Amino acid sequence: MKNAITAHGATIPLIGLGTWQLSGDNCVQMVSEALKLGYRHIDTAAMYGNEVEVGDGMRASGVKREDVFLTTKVWRDNLHAKDFRGSVEASLKKLKLPYVDLILIHWPNESVPLKETLGAMAEVKRAGLAKHIGVSNFTVKLLDEAVKLSAEPIVNNQVELHPFLDQSKVIAACQKHGISVTAYCPIARGSAAGDKVLAKVGAAHGKSAAQVSLRYLVQQGIIAIPRTSKAARLKENLAALDFTLTDAEMATVHGLAHREGRVVNLAHAPAWD
C-alpha cells in the first residue's frame, strides 16, 4: 500500500482521521467524507463516545470494510482481564462490525498488572475481534516491559507527537522493537497553524504551516491522525503526502521542540521520558 507503514504484519496508512471530540451527524459526515476522499485509516476509542457514528460513517462512505484500517482503544478502567474483552465487544457492537484492525490500551494503568492486560489482548486477537494489538501513551520503560510480556507482537504505540515535542527516546524504543508510531495531536491542537517558522517552510512549497507539521511526521515514517470537524480540512491534511521537505527544512522543524511543548498531560499520565 502506498503511503503506509508496516509493522509486524500490520500495514497502516500514514495519514488517518482522528475522531476525538467528533460527535453526531458531524462525525458520520467526516468519516464518510474522509473515506470518499481517499483516507483509509480511521481512529476512534471507547472513551470518545462516537463509535456508533464512526461505524455509520464507514458504511455511508461505500468503501469496503476490508479496505479501511480501523483503530479503537480500551480505556484504562477496563484493563483487567475480566473487563477487557467486554470493552472490545461493546465497541464492536456500537461500530456494528465483527472486528477492528487495531486495539490499543488507551492509557497505562499502574494499578493493573500489564501482563494481565496483555494476556487479555492476546485472547481478543486470537478470537478474531482485533487483527492487531498495540498501546498508547507508553514510555520507553513500559514499551520494553510490554514487548517482554506480550505473547502477540505489539504493532503500534500512539503518542502525542508534533514539532514542538521531542519524543526521540520513545521513537527510538519503538524502532528497536519494530513498533510503528502514531502521532496524536500532530498539529498540537492548532498551535502549528499559527507558527511562523512552519509557515515560512510551507511557503516554499505552497503549503500551510499545519501541512508542514504533518509532513514532518509522515516523512519520518510516523503515522499522523489529525482531527478535523471541517470537510475542507480533510483534503488539506491528506495533501501532506504530496510534497517533500529538504533535510535542512526537516532540521529547522525539528528545532522547534521545547520543554513546555506537551499539550496533553493528564493526572493519570505515566512519568514521561
Active site residue 48: yes
User: Among 4, 1, 2, which residue's Cα sits nearest to residue 218?
Assistant: 4
Spatial separation of the C-alpha atoms in residues 41 and 218, rounded to whole Å: 14
CB atoms within 10 A of CB 84: 23
CB-based contacts of 200: which residues, under 8 Å, 6+ apart?
Answer: none
d(CA 99, CA 20): 20
Residue 254 in marked binding region: no
Write down the catalytic residue from 39, 48, 184, 216.
48
28, 29, 30, 36: CA torsion to nearest 10: 110
| Single-letter amino acid code for the residue at 85 | R
Neighbours of 254 (CB within 10 A): 13
Place of cell 520543554: 259
Residue with cell 503506509: 4
Tell me, what amino acid is at 176? K
Of 94, 87, 14, whose CA–CA distance to 59 is shortest?
94
Binding positions for substrate are 106
Residues annotated as catalytic (active site), given as ranges: 48
Binding positions are 106
